[in-house]
């Protein structure tokens, strides 16, 4: 747990992977500007058995050590790509590989 967090139970809950619920590994910490105060801790899933192994999430820690509850509706969703968009993306990837000198089968 970061040194200046207050509630051990809140921290233990917040540091768990959203997918597998195993404790994550702290990989970075950044202090917020003085007007916001507190810090943001970046965690990564450390369970090799998890589908999100290595994926990261952030936890905000307020100056008093509390962790704000996640607000509903903050998950991002993206529309499905059309076949035409997929074709464009494949072409762009092939062009980039050609420019970098990477064979198509790599």
- pLDDT tens string 51-92: 888 888 888 888 888 887 766 655 666 677 788 888 888 899
State residue 46's pLDDT score. 87
CA dihedral of residues 59, 62, 65, 71 (deg, nearest 10): -50
Q: What is the pLDDT of residue 7?
A: 54
Q: What is the pTM of this model?
A: 0.56
Query: Per-residue pLDDT tens for 27-58?
Result: 988 888 777 778 888 999 988 888 888 888 88
Distance of CA 56 to the CA centre of its chain: 3
Alpha-carbon span 22 to 16, nearest angstrom: 5
Q: Which residue has the higher pLDDT, 2 or 21?
A: 21
CA dihedral sign, ordered 64, 69, 3, 27 = negative
Nearest-5° Cα angle at 35, 34 to 41:
60
Give the DSSP H or E segment for 92. Answer: helix 83-100
Q: What is the mean pLDDT of the chain?
A: 80
């Amino acid at each position: 747990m970061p040194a200046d967090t207050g509630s051990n139970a809140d921290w233990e809950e917040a540091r768990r992977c959203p997918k597998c619920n195993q404790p994550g590994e702290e990989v970075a910490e950044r202090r917020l500007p003085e007007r916001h105060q507190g810090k943001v801790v970046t965690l990564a899933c450390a369970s090799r058995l998890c589908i999100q192994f290595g994926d990261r999430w952030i936890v905000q820690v307020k100056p008093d050590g509390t962790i704000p509850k996640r607000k509903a509706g903050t998950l991002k969703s993206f529309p499905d790509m059309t076949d035409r968009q997929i074709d464009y993306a494949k072409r762009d990837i092939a062009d980039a590989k050609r420019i970098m000198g990477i064979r198509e089968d790599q």
